Amino acid sequence: MLHPPSLAALPIGRRGVAVVPTPLSQRLAAAGTSGEVVHAFRRARAAFIAGERLDMTALAAQMGVDRTSLFRWVGNRDALLSEVLWSLAEPTLDRIAATERSTGPERVVAVLTRFTGALIQAPYFRQFLRTEPVRALKLLTTAASEVQRRFVATVESMLADEEVAGLQLPLPAHDLAYLLVRVAESFTFADLIAGERPDTDRAAAALAHVMRTDVPARPRVPAPSTAEHP
């Protein structure tokens, strides 16, 4: 499905919020650069980047209010964490898209591969996965929060851009976007899902396969022999 010109005019990271708003994202947009909700959100974001566990009681104390007031501003802990996570994804996606010069399916693969690599390498992100693995997977890879739906919407809008330019997609844009996101997630969270090492190169190969593009093949490493010795 082709998206409206108003959405296409937005940076790609911003498109996710435009398609999948939340009460907190709407309050932040309405508040601009000041107000209690903005200050609380900035404190939470700074704590997350510093690798700290988001503590709602401590955050309320820092803001000089009770937990009820804090929850009224930013929602519950999962809602706040989800918005913080996307606030970090958004500029990363925008920066990658702005500097990626490829076009067509290669562009989609390159943007998703670079974004996957950025997540794998971000210290605060890996810290979150280490300290709260169950919650991280819940918020990042399920319908429990808006993060995955925003990611799918963002990728779908990228595919729509390429459709406008003449690319024929192998699947409907939404279905293909969902598949690409799940592939990217599989390699970003490989350590939590399958006990394997997160791997950008393997993500690139899998994404290229889905988009039916060619990527440079890596040298194959012979598997260790499992034959029994006499």
Q: What is the mean pLDDT of residues 25-51?
A: 94
What's the mean per-residue pLDDT of the chain? 90
Weakest mean pLDDT among 6-20, 98-112, 195-209: 6-20
Q: Where does residue 183 rank: exposed (0-12), middle (13-18), buried (19+ CB within 10 A)?
A: buried
d(CA 25, CA 134): 24
Q: Is 217 among the domain residues?
A: no
Give the model's pLDDT for residue 228: 39
Weakest mean pLDDT among 9-13, 46-50, 106-110: 9-13
Spatial neighbors of 214 by CB under 8 A, at least 6 apart, are 208
Residue with tokens 């998703």: 112
Here the CATH number for the domain that contains residue 19 is: 1.10.357.10
Q: Is 95 among the domain residues?
A: yes
Answer whether residue 229 shows pLDDT above 50.
Answer: no
Q: Is 189 among the domain residues?
A: yes
Answer whether 11's CB lies under 8 Å from 156's CB: no
Give the model's pLDDT for residue 224: 44
Three-state secondary structure readout of 2-34: CCCHHHHCCCHHHHHHHHCCCHHHHHHHHHCCC
Tell me which residue range forms the domain holding 17.
5-211
Joined together, the tokens standing for residue 148 give: 């995955």
Q: How many domains does the chain have?
A: 1
Give the model's pLDDT for residue 226: 40
Q: What is the mean pLDDT of residues 27-41?
A: 92
Confidence class of residue 3 from pLDDT cuts 50, 70 and 90?
low
Q: Is 70 among the domain residues?
A: yes
Q: Is 224 among the domain residues?
A: no
Q: Is 216 among the domain residues?
A: no
Q: Is 218 among the domain residues?
A: no
CA atoms within 13 A on the CB side of 207: 31
Answer whether residue 134 shows pLDDT above 70.
Answer: yes
Answer whether 1's CB lies under 8 Å from 172's CB: yes
In the chain, the largest separation of any two C-alpha atoms, in whole Å, equals 75
Confidence (pTM): 0.88
Q: Is 156 among the domain residues?
A: yes
pLDDT tens for each residue of 65-86:
999 999 999 999 999 999 999 9
